[in-house]
Structure formats: structure tokens, C-alpha cells
Amino acid sequence: MTVLAGCGSNKDKYDTVLENKKIVMATSADYPPFEFHKDIDGKDQIVGYDIMVAQEIAKDLGVELEIQDMKFDVVLESINKGNADMALAGIDRSPEREKAMLFSDIIYQAEVGVLVRAEDADKYKSIEDLKGKKVGVQSGSTFEEVLKQIPDAQADRLPKVNDLVLSLETNRVDAVLVEKPVAAAYASNNNKVTVSSIALKPIGDGYSVAIPKGSDKLKDAINKTIKRLKDEGKLDQFITEANALSDSQ
């Protein structure tokens, strides 16, 4: 997806966050174990790895965390326009995106997962097996670029991963590309799909927090939290806890 140059306020979001005593996070909560809806004590909540990281960022800033759920391409637009203070939604850096927004240090190392129908597990074991096949990818994601590693693949772009998995179940696509823990989460909760052994290379180094341009102070504050979480071993703990939450859905 082409991301145009930002058109939001020139004010560093760090200042507005402290003024408002609130940090607004944009996400697309259909990407377990990173962000997803879960019923907890009868109440629908958005939980997951990225949410845990965001809560720590808010805690270190001494502000409230407000989560806004939207389609993935709208998440990127909200940062580009400065409508949100940060975005965590399994976001890869790319040269195109870096023209329009800032990125924090890496919070999760990227791995590509390939979902196929369980009945086709032996049919699709290599990149060549998917040659010319119809493959689902989330619109606006870097998996649109990953797809180019599959010869003559036909892209089926949808905004929601849930819809991509449904397309796979109903034979409208032959495979779906998502982050490997996401693929594992869907497979563990749905016996109609499984994670293929097909190996594809991610486009970026991993996931980061996206921040509006001109908000270098907020970026520095977020990086400080990320460093603390890495030093404390919390990021490894969070992905384990997030996977357990996803598995118990």
C-alpha cells in the first residue's frame, strides 16, 4: 500500500500524550497472539502481545492507554495523519512506510507462516507447490511483498485475517500468508487449517511500534521502554503468555 507523506500536526506526540494523560494506540485486533478479542469475565477485551507492550509504554509514561480497533490499512493511515499516538498491529518497517512514519526498535523478530487446509498438508510443502495458486494476504501488509517469492501466485487481498482464514476453509484460496505465531494460533483453534513447512523470507527485520513523523521524543520514550522489557526478559514472557491466551480461546 502506498503511504503518503504525513499531514498531521507538527507537535511531538510526546507532549500531547503527557498533556492529555492518555496515549491512543491504533491496532487491528484480529491477529492472535499479537492482538485479538477475548471474552474475560463476560466482557469483551482486546488482549495479546502488542497490548502487553503498549501497557508497559503507557505505564512508563504515567498515562492511560486507549486502544482503538480498526482495519489494518486504516491503522497505518491513522499514524500517517497523526490521529493516533502510536500503532502496534504486527507492523513491519519498509522503505515506503519509513517515508511517512517513525518506527521504534524491534519488538518482535519476524517469521513468515503459511496456512493451508489440513487436508492439503501433504500437497503444499514447497514454494513450487504453490506456483500459480491463489494465496490470501492482508491488504496493506508487507505480506503482499512476501507473496512475490511464490512464482505466478495470484493474490487475494482482504483487510481482515479472519476473512482470509475463512476463504482458505471454503476453498477460495489455497494458502494464507501471516506471521508464524499467528498461523500457529489459528491452526491450534481450527482443525480445518494447519501450518505448512513452506519457508518464505520476511520483508523486514521484525515488528515495531509505528509513530507519527515529528514525534522523536515519543519514539525515544518508547525505545526506552522496549530496552527495559528486553533487559528484563519480559518480551519472551509476553509472547508465551499471549500464545497461552490465544490457545485458550
Distance CA 111, CA 195 (A): 12
Spatial CA neighbour of 137 closest among 154, 115, 155 = 155
Spatial CA neighbour of 245 closest among 35, 55, 65, 57 = 35
Calculate ∠ Cα 126-132-137, nearest 5°. 80
Instruction: Please state whether beta strands 86-92 and 22-27 pair in parallel, antiparallel, or not at all (unpaired).
Output: parallel
Distance CA 135, CA 25 (A): 30
What per-residue confidence (pLDDT) applies to 236? 84
What per-residue confidence (pLDDT) applies to 172? 98
Spatial CA neighbour of 25 closest among 56, 62, 63, 54 = 54
Q: Which domains does the chain have, with CATH numbers?
A: 13-109+206-247 (3.40.190.10), 112-195 (3.40.190.10)
- Give the residues of the chain that fall short of pLDDT 70: 1-9, 247, 249
Distance CA 23, CA 17 (A): 5
Query: Could you write out the DSSP letters of every residue in 178-243?
Result: EEHHHHHHHHHH-TTEEE-------SSSEEEEEEETT-HHHHHHHHHHHHHHHHTTHHHHHHHHHH
pLDDT tens-digit series, residues 66-117: 999 999 989 999 999 999 999 999 998 888 899 999 999 999 988 899 999 9
Distance CA 156, CA 163 (A): 11
pTM of the model: 0.74
Distance CA 109, CA 89 (A): 14
